[in-house]
Amino acid sequence: MPGHMAWLTMDKTYRSDCPIARMLDLVGDKWTLLILRDVLVFGCKKYGEFEHRVERIPTNILADRLKRLVQYGLLHKVPYQDGPKRYHYLPTPQGKAMLPVISAMRDFGETYLGGRVPAG
Amino acid sequence: MPGHMAWLTMDKTYRSDCPIARMLDLVGDKWTLLILRDVLVFGCKKYGEFEHRVERIPTNILADRLKRLVQYGLLHKVPYQDGPKRYHYLPTPQGKAMLPVISAMRDFGETYLGGRVPAG
């Protein structure tokens, strides 16, 4: 496992040195943080589990975002079955470190947007 | 000032009841949270101040996002000068309530993405 500072900045260009801008460069779209929510809050692991969440992520976007999350070091792709080969997506320590961001968003959404966390 | 639950859900459609998904429906793009960062962390108020930040937001995107942030009840647009008329953008209480989200993103970006907060 590489050190903190090495794992992401090697092959990614950022808009600025601002840590908030870098976070958004990484996960600033409508879907990526929902996948991390599914991993960290609901324990989703399999492709089909992500695909069948209530928001119905389009399958091409799901495949792309999972690939990026693995590439960015936020998820591990771990084989759990041969013939046919199947994979689990598990959070890395860095992926787990996204939980405070997701929790803060949850607090805001519950307080101001009428949101409630769906049943797992 | 309308109550918490009224100010946003009236004219916006959300993907789901999940508060995290709703947050992302509102501000889940690469720029909106940077504008809120500029307001809440750096005290930016004027159009030109947002425009000249280091990330160089395109002016058409800035105009659109400021309009949406006002429409969503996260910023107030307050006249401060006549002839020509000029406006300040100031955070509403709901806008200020975004600070924990931005702080959590800052913590992640500083720890894992090599980010540092730029000089104001």
Other C-beta atoms within 10 Å of A14: how many?
Answer: 20
Q: Which residue of A has its CA nearest to B74?
A: A112
Match 């590489």 to its residue by tokens: A2
- Please give the Cα distance from A22 to B30 (Å, whole number): 10
Structure tokens that stand for B114 in this block: 């090599």
Q: Which residue of A has its CA nearest to B27?
A: A30
Domain contains B59:
yes
CATH no. for residue A70? 1.10.10.10
Q: What is the mean pLDDT of chain A?
A: 89
Structure tokens that stand for B18 in this block: 């999940």
Q: Note the pTM of the prediction, 2 decimals.
A: 0.89
Least confident among A9-23, A50-64, B53-67, B98-112: A9-23
Beta strands in chain A (DSSP E): 75-81, 86-91
Residue B90: in which H helix or E strand, if any?
strand B86-91
CB contact under 8 Å between B109 and A18, yes or no, is yes
Structure tokens that stand for A16 in this block: 């600025």
Q: Which residue of B has its CA nearest to A17?
A: B115
Name which of A9, A55, A111 is nearest B113 (Cβ-Cβ): A9
Residues of A in contact with B4 (CB under 8 A): 111-112
What's the confidence (pLDDT) of residue A2? 42
- pLDDT band at B2, cuts 50/70/90? very low
What's the confidence (pLDDT) of residue B41? 95
- Please give the Cα distance from B96 to B101 (Å, whole number): 10
Span B12-19, average pLDDT: 88
Cα dihedral B83/B50/A34/A68 (nearest 10): 140
Domain contains B37:
yes
Q: How many separate domains does chain A show?
A: 1
What's the confidence (pLDDT) of residue B120? 56
Ranges of residues in chain A with a pLDDT under 70 are 1-11, 118-120
Domain contains A94:
yes
Domain contains A5:
no
Domain that holds residue B40: 17-112
Beta carbons within 8 Å of B81's beta carbon, 6+ residues apart: none
Domain contains A117:
no
Domain contains B39:
yes
Match 């953008």 to its residue by tokens: B89
Domain contains B60:
yes
Q: Is residue A10 a contact partner of residue B119, using CB atoms and an 8 Å limit?
A: no
Q: Residue A61 pairs with which residues in a beta bridge?
A: none
Domain contains B46:
yes
